[in-house]
Structure 1
């Protein structure tokens, strides 16, 4: 474990641990518990299952909570809770981000409910640190199970995992047999519970800590258009330009706008939308968060991921850029069952409640409420090859019971061209 600490940070200084208790065989008198702890100390050279201290990761001073799995399976007992609570308290005093390198089998059985109740203490510290606007990053090592996953792991702002790590609430000895792949870091990423799987942990942590600690209060400028084109003559021309296959998409805009960036992934409810890219990027030495639609119908998980990103950025004081490009929200039966309306409401609410500035650029299709949810009132711009409409021309014609040949005329009546949107006061300008 000491080698791991040295690999990710420099100048590590361990915090003074709280004093040991003198209760024989622990709080419930588990026979042989003292002897087991003594053997664990001899085997690992550590006095508990976690080491806590501070050190510099990249250019950022951080508080580290590092689990030693060799000490009783990295289990959490009362002394573990004492150390973790003291580390979080120190982090808030020093205003340093918290990095948890987790490897644990869960709560310490030999301490009974006295051990399990430590999860409440840890959850309280996570909540206090979140409320203080201090970033938290967890790294899921092998294994990360039980309460360590359900508090420090899943409760962090950004969740990273090492390849192949066993990750799940149920440990290997107590879960139902079969479907072992469900309990891997890769499965948790696919299910929206992990942001990234990282191979080079020191580099990844340095990049993430830089992004999460270099926010600015300034409003982001909208990106410039990546496609030089004339303004559309008709509403249908605007629709065709926005739907053109050669039109630049979200990733092209993000790559041109940021010097470098890192994505977050997933809605933390079991869903990932590949058509919504969220994360944090560095632009001229400052961090800006982004939530970008990529031209597909946005799924409920996409809306929830965007809302998660916006709320996190707001808590950390990081301004937000959103890119609008969707024909609309997914509206099939699966989307309704997954909470399409509730997901859209989350994004509307996150932007409405944000205290940091949010800037929006419509880069393609702006289809109805699924697009408007991503847009910042009073700070929305459009590109020349985009449109923004109360609904698609096809849907409007269907609602009005018009034949297909009247769709272009309907598009004209909707006044959805970039210049129409400026005249209506819906957007601030054309980039």
Structure 2
């Protein structure tokens, strides 16, 4: 049985005060004159103690004031009609006026068929308010509970800056009763599947929901606009004697990669699942010395289009929320296979170039391994680029340069030297602004 709206609010929010006021909504049997609809609402209210499918108000999460929207699934399946839609719209508008973040605790079957298209249209009105909140630079955290289906998932839930889902929850656009019998219980319609495919940022057990919401509110808090600190170098601090040695040093097995750097640099961090391990990019928000910092970090493999899109999402979200960005560069280059081409590797890189170029918050970059061509450059700051002593940055990999120039394999080490890709050479060329210290 799904907890009611007030039960879940009691777990997550302190000092919750419900918004008052008559915002209208269906009367009697509603705009369609649906026989028995009015009586159904009366019974739902008696059963749940709520006069609508959403409860909206203001409270405190982790010591920070927030506006909360909580769905009451026991009231006609948490469905959105004109009254519920008006309450959600009002809650977002109040949050915007008060400069407060929004936490949506969702458990719904979608829109209310007894009110027809007037109910369906609420999704547009809710989406507009979510966009206005986003444009105001205020964060929105959505928690997908069991179930989260239909248009509410495809508007309020999926539009949030961060999407958290309760393990085992049914999450999908098509609810169980409208799916074909053969796929009614398919695993695609689960929180775990949405997480695996990058549409949910984090999974949480119901019992840990309070702590996770607290954590996310701190990690999304607007920071001062000082640039992120440059992480300390964790690898070999001795400079390579020549270009080819620098390439081999950056490629060596067991060298510190992005996750080690992130764990060393941040006091705590929360991931955005849009950057999945197999895409070569890890994204999220961290806390360092009490400040929120967004991060996007390559993992040493070829970055896929999905990886670049994840970084673009991260940069744009951080820019809206006024949170500085740290990027860690480590890739032999962008994925170059047919699948990457079909998935739009060029446009994906272009989007990231554009996001960083347009960012109003400071972006700081540290090259921690291989800096391979445009696939590395796309993640770089325009004016704050540092490099670790055991890293390199090159216009092209030496082996590929040999292929283009029709050189023999034994010419590769010499070409590495000609490319002037070592940290000290890059500093001399003005490509990087400094070499990180251990």
**TM-score of Structure 1 vs Structure 2, range by shorter chain:** over 0.9
Task: Tell me whether 1:391 sits opposite 2:362 in the alignment.
Answer: no
1:57·1:205 contact (CA, 8 Å) conserved in 2? Answer: yes
Task: Tell me whether 1:421 sits opposite 2:417 in the alignment.
Answer: no
Task: Tell me whether 1:3 sits opposite 2:7 in the alignment.
Answer: yes
Please point out which of 196, 202, 225 is paired with 2:233.
Answer: 225
Give the Cα–Cα distance (whole angstroms) in 2 for the partners of residues 405 and 21 of structure 1: 77
Please point out which of 206, 217, 221 is paired with 1:213.
Answer: 221
Q: How far did residue 26 of structure 1 move?
A: 0.4
Equivalent position of 1:197 in the other structure: 203
Say which is worse superposed, 220-229 or 412-421, in terms of deviation: 220-229
Deviation string for 1:221-276 (max 9, x for gaps)? 21111124211111001001101112111111111111110110116xxx874521
Equivalent position of 2:65 in the other structure: 61
Give the Cα–Cα distance (whole angstroms) in 2 for the partners of residues 230 and 23 of structure 1: 76
Q: How far did residue 75 of structure 1 move?
A: 0.3
Q: How far did residue 3 of structure 1 move?
A: 1.7
| Aligned 1:61-140 pairs, distance under 5 A | 61-140=65-144
Q: Give SS of 2:50's match.
A: coil
Give the Cα–Cα distance (whole angstroms) in 2 for the partners of residues 348 and 143 of structure 1: 38
State the TM-score, normalized to the length of structure 1.
0.97
Q: How far did residue 22 of structure 1 move?
A: 6.9
Task: Tell me whether 1:360 sits opposite 2:368 in the alignment.
Answer: no
Equivalent position of 1:266 in the other structure: 274
Unmatched 5+ stretches in structure 2: none
Q: Give SS of 1:29's match.
A: coil
Equivalent position of 1:408 in the other structure: 413
Deviation string for 1:318-338 (max 9, x for gaps)? 000000000000010011111
1:17·1:83 contact (CA, 8 Å) conserved in 2? Answer: no
Equivalent position of 1:319 in the other structure: 324
Unmatched 5+ stretches in structure 1: none
Equivalent position of 2:189 in the other structure: 183
Q: How far did residue 18 of structure 1 move?
A: 2.4
Give the Cα–Cα distance (whole angstroms) in 2 for the partners of residues 300 and 85 of structure 1: 35
Q: Give SS of 2:59's match.
A: strand
Deviation string for 1:378-424 (max 9, x for gaps)? 21010110000001011100111111111101111111111110111
2:73·2:79 contact (CA, 8 Å) conserved in 1? Answer: yes
Q: Give SS of 1:407's match.
A: helix
Q: Give SS of 2:176's match.
A: coil
Give the Cα–Cα distance (whole angstroms) in 2 for the partners of residues 276 and 12 of structure 1: 38
Equivalent position of 1:282 in the other structure: 287
Q: 1:426 to 1:21 in 2, by over 3 A?
A: closer
Q: How far did residue 216 of structure 1 move?
A: 1.7
Equivalent position of 2:170 in the other structure: 166
| Aligned 1:147-166 pairs, distance under 5 A | 147-166=151-170
1:18·1:83 contact (CA, 8 Å) conserved in 2? Answer: no
RMSD: 1.2
Q: Give SS of 1:173's match.
A: helix
Aligned length: 428
2:386·2:435 contact (CA, 8 Å) conserved in 1? Answer: yes
State the TM-score, normalized to the length of structure 2.
0.96
Q: 1:334 to 1:274 in 2, by over 3 A?
A: closer
Q: Give SS of 1:213's match.
A: coil
Deviation string for 1:344-391 (max 9, x for gaps)? 111111100000000000000000100000011221010110000001
